[in-house]
């Protein structure tokens, strides 16, 4: 088995005349935390949306665990093992935290209409298992006490955690996080870092978009830098940090 | 201690309601058989509302053509159990067929409208309802399938062998008229429908519907096949309509396209909205109220005017629409989420208003 989990080659994404992604290629190894950084508008979220099937790419493609995934629907990609969170949190806001995570179990469970109507033993057992797993995941991300609270009314940091729990409920091989630390204070960010390290230690690979450079540098094994839809650098954080093109992209040519 | 007494109170309540429901037709019959018929129609409308509640309340897909499925079920029954084609299949065979055909129509409507939301979906479903009615009106030539605007008459009543639901019978000194017998079978089917609704709501599929209603993009990203789950909502809702339609055809003995006009769709939707979208008990309450109150008016307004003024100044139908409008305005002001709203729906509406 190769150590590479996600292979992405020559990915193009065009919006009208704008080339939002241009020949982006990279690969993520199993078990690593892979950072995706770049200035605002660099194409990070576009890349996320392409990898999770929300956008169809115009050229190139990507394969996940050896299987080409470009062109599949978001739900098919989630079923293959990529789960994500959203930059602007997209929880099921009016449902309880527990319901949110239970919905995440949908893709790994089976019960259909007839099972539900007849309440067969298999369905009841599955329901119990779904709830048990959801409660475990809420405890895992540290918001077990909030299980019955309405998602929209949770504090901001807890909403971010809940989104991670919901994504983990789909049993992903790759967890893709779009700015999970945005809007968090230093303590919350530190706790997030611990959580992500634990997720990785438990065997889930992580792809992380983040603007908090301290977090990226402290957490990521490797980093990909995008600017204007192009890959301008990639490698371990320490090297990337010193790359003149990266400094130019962030601070302007004079600084480099 | 308090829990057991609470549970006991609940069971006593359930028992009282059951006794009331069982005794109801005899109380109504003493006021006239017409009232038993009204009760039967009310049950049919509760049944319809529960079906529409799956589409509108659970999955959040606005459907203004729901009565089309009722029509499909009614015509499926009428064509398979009337002299029109000379077919006389038993009702327990036709009702499932009607449900299946309606279900097929549900998918037929659902498939092209999957990408539509809100207003756009409402318009297309409204058109669909009209198309079905117009087809029924015109499918009498060149081959006479639906008998056009004349409708289909002499539809078979429900029957088991020689036991027919349309005849009068006396058991233990109690007179069971046709409508009373239908009442019990309708009530039994309704209880079944309520159980199905409640169980669907609290299931994996019910949660998927909720997720789609809340945020379709997030639902897809969480691995929910929104296409399949939405079609499932349309199909389930349509089957309820199909079964109700079959029962309607059997009870009335006569159906024509006139019974399936747009106003009926709007009526069923009003029942769902008035009662409380997404809450099964709210929907039941809404449907019962909107079925009975207009009839009550019909029987009270006319005599009241006669006794007061010696003549009828305003027709009951006009007063009915007037009060209906007033009720909707009051509801928007004071209970926008319905009389018995579901907790989740209440939050959604509060958010939309803020």
User: What is the pLDDT, as a whole number, of residue B307?
Assistant: 82
Q: In this complex, which of A54, A94, A107 lies closest to B348 when CB atoms are compared?
A: A94
Whether B46 and B197 have beta carbons less than 8 Å apart is answered as no
Residues B220, A75: C-beta atoms closer than 8 Å:
yes
- When mean pLDDT is compared across A36-45, B28-37, B48-57, the lowest value belongs to B28-37
Q: In this complex, which of B204, B211, B223 lies closest to A116 when CB atoms are compared?
A: B204
Nearest Cα residue in chain B from A49: B221
Q: Residue B170 has which token pair?
A: 């006396």
pLDDT at B224 over 50: yes
pLDDT tens for each residue of A184-232: 889 999 999 999 999 999 999 999 999 998 999 999 999 999 999 999 9
Q: Residue B114 — pLDDT band, cuts 50, 70, 90?
A: confident
pLDDT at B171 over 90: no
Average model confidence (pLDDT) across chain A: 92
Cβ-Cβ contacts under 8 Å, A154 against chain B: none
Which DSSP symbol is given to A169? T
User: What is the pLDDT, as a whole number, of residue B312?
Assistant: 75
Cβ-Cβ contacts under 8 Å, B215 against chain A: 90-93
**Residue pairs spanning A and B at CB distance below 8 A:** 110
Interface of A with B (CB under 8 A): 52, 54, 73-75, 78-79, 83-84, 86, 90-95, 99, 102-107, 109, 111-113, 115-117, 119, 123, 126-127, 130, 150, 152, 166-167, 169-170
Residues B223, A92: C-beta atoms closer than 8 Å:
no
Q: Residue A209 has which token pair?
A: 């978009």
Residues B344, A95: C-beta atoms closer than 8 Å:
yes
pLDDT at B86 over 60: yes
Residues A109, B210: C-beta atoms closer than 8 Å:
no
Distance CA A241, CA B266 (A): 63
pLDDT at B135 over 90: yes
DSSP B236-286: HHHHHHHHHHHHHHHHHS-B-GGGG-HHHHHHHHHHHHHH-TT-HHHHHHH
Q: Residue B237 has which token pair?
A: 């809702």
User: What is the pLDDT, as a whole number, of residue A1?
Assistant: 47
pLDDT at A42 over 60: yes
Average model confidence (pLDDT) across chain B: 89
pLDDT at B243 over 70: yes
ipTM of the complex: 0.92
- When mean pLDDT is compared across A79-93, A207-221, B154-168, the lowest value belongs to B154-168
- When mean pLDDT is compared across A33-47, A51-65, B109-123, B259-273, the lowest value belongs to B109-123
Interface of B with A (CB under 8 A): 195-196, 199-200, 203-208, 210-211, 214-215, 217-226, 232, 236, 344, 347-348, 351
What share of chain B has pLDDT > 70, as a percent?
97
Q: Residue A91 has which token pair?
A: 């929880």
Cβ-Cβ contacts under 8 Å, B195 against chain A: 117
Q: Residue A164 — pLDDT band, cuts 50, 70, 90?
A: very high
**Stretch B32-51: mean pLDDT:** 93
Least Cα distance to B157 among B149, B147, B168 occurs for B168
- Cβ neighbours of residue B282 under 8 Å, at least 6 residues apart? B275, B276, B338, B339, B340, B341, B342
Backbone angles phi, psi at A82, to 5 degrees: -110, 120
Residues B224, A75: C-beta atoms closer than 8 Å:
yes
* Angle, in degrees to the nearest 10, between helices B2-31 and B33-52: 130
Q: Which residue has the higher pLDDT, A79 or B34?
A: A79
Question: In whole angstroms, what separates CA B332 from the centre of its chain?
Answer: 22
pLDDT tens for each residue of B311-351: 777 777 788 778 888 888 888 888 888 888 888 877 877 76
Q: In this complex, which of A75, A94, A111 lies closest to B214 when CB atoms are compared?
A: A94
pLDDT at A92 over 50: yes
Cβ-Cβ contacts under 8 Å, A107 against chain B: 222-224
Q: State the sign of the Cα–Cα–Cα–Cα dihedral B182, B184, B190, B195.
A: negative
pLDDT at A9 over 70: yes
Nearest Cα residue in chain A from B344: A94
User: What is the pLDDT, as a whole number, of residue B2?
Assistant: 58
Q: In this complex, which of A91, A106, A113 lies closest to B236 when CB atoms are compared?
A: A113
How many CA atoms are closer than 13 Å to the CA of B148, on its beta-carbon side? 7
Describe chain A by its helix, strand, coil percentages, rounded to 5: 45, 25, 30
Q: In this complex, which of B199, B218, B221 lies closest to A116 when CB atoms are compared?
A: B199
Q: Residue B62 — pLDDT band, cuts 50, 70, 90?
A: very high
Residues B218, A126: C-beta atoms closer than 8 Å:
no
Q: Which residue has the higher pLDDT, B160 or B135?
A: B135
User: What is the pLDDT, as a whole number, of residue B260?
Assistant: 94
Q: In this complex, which of B195, B200, B222 lies closest to A107 when CB atoms are compared?
A: B222
What share of chain A has pLDDT > 70, as a percent?
98
Cβ-Cβ contacts under 8 Å, A79 against chain B: 223
Residues B223, A115: C-beta atoms closer than 8 Å:
no
């Amino acid at each position: 088995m190769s150590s590479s989990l996600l292979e992405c080659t020559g990915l193009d994404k065009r919006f009208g005349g704008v080339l939002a992604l241009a020949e982006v290629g990279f690969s993520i190894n199993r078990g690593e935390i892979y950072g995706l950084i770049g200035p605002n508008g660099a194409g990070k979220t576009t890349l996320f949306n392409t990898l999770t099937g929300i956008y169809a790419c115009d050229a190139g493609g990507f394969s996940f665990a050896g299987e080409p995934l470009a062109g599949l629907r978001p739900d098919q990609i989630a079923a293959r093992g990529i789960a994500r969170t959203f930059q602007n949190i997209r929880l099921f806001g009016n449902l309880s935290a527990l319901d949110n995570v239970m919905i995440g179990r949908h893709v790994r469970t089976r019960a259909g209409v007839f099972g539900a109507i007849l309440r067969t033993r298999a369905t009841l057992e599955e329901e119990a298992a779904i709830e048990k797993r959801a409660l475990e995941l809420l405890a895992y991300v540290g918001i077990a006490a909030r299980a019955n609270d309405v998602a929209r009314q949770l504090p901001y940091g807890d909403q971010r955690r809940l989104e991670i729990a919901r994504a983990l409920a789909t049993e992903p091989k790759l967890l893709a996080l779009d700015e999970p630390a945005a809007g968090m204070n230093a303590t919350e960010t530190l706790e997030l870092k611990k959580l992500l390290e634990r997720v990785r230690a438990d065997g889930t690979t992580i792809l992380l978009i983040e603007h908090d450079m301290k977090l990226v540098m402290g957490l990521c094994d490797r980093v990909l830098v995008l600017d204007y839809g192009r890959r301008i650098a990639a490698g371990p954080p320490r090297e990337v940090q010193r790359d003149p093109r990266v400094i130019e992209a962030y601070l302007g040519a004079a600084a480099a | 201690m308090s829990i057991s007494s609470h549970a006991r109170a609940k069971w006593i309540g359930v028992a009282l309601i059951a006794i009331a429901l069982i005794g109801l037709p005899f109380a109504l019959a003493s006021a006239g058989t017409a009232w038993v018929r009204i009760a039967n129609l009310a049950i049919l409308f509760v049944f319809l509302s529960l079906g529409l509640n799956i589409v509108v309340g659970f999955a959040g897909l606005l459907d203004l053509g729901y009565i089309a499925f009722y029509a499909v079920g009614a015509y499926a029954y009428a064509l398979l159990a009337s002299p029109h084609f000379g077919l006389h299949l038993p009702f327990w065979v036709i009702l499932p067929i009607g449900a299946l055909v309606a279900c097929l129509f549900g998918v037929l409507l659902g498939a092209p409208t999957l990408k539509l939301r809100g207003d756009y979906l409402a318009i297309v479903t409204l058109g669909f309802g009209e198309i079905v009615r117009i087809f029924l009106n015109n499918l009498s030539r060149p081959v006479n399938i639906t008998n056009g605007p004349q409708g289909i008459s002499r539809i078979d009543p429900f029957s088991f062998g020689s036991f027919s639901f349309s005849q009068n019978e006396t058991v233990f000194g109690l007179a069971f008229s046709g409508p009373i017998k239908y009442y019990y079978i309708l009530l039994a089917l309704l209880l079944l429908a309520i159980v199905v609704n409640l169980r669907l709501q609290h299931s994996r599929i019910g949660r998927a519907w909720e997720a789609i209603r809340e945020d379709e993009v997030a639902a897809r990203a969480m691995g929910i096949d929104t296409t399949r789950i939405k079609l499932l909502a349309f199909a389930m809702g349509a089957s309820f309509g199909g079964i109700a339609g079959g029962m309607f055809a059997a009870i009335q003995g006569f159906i024509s396209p006139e019974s399936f006009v747009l106003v009926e769709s709007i009526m069923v939707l009003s029942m769902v909205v008035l009662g409380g979208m997404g809450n099964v008990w709210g929907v039941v309450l809404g449907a019962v109220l909107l079925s009975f109150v207009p009839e009550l008016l019909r029987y009270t307004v006319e005599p009241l005017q006669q006794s007061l003024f010696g003549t009828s100044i305003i027709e009951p139908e006009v007063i009915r629409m007037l009060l209906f409008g007033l009720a909707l305005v009051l509801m928007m002001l004071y209970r926008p989420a319905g009389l018995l709203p579901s907790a989740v729906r209440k939050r959604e509406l509060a958010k939309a208003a803020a």
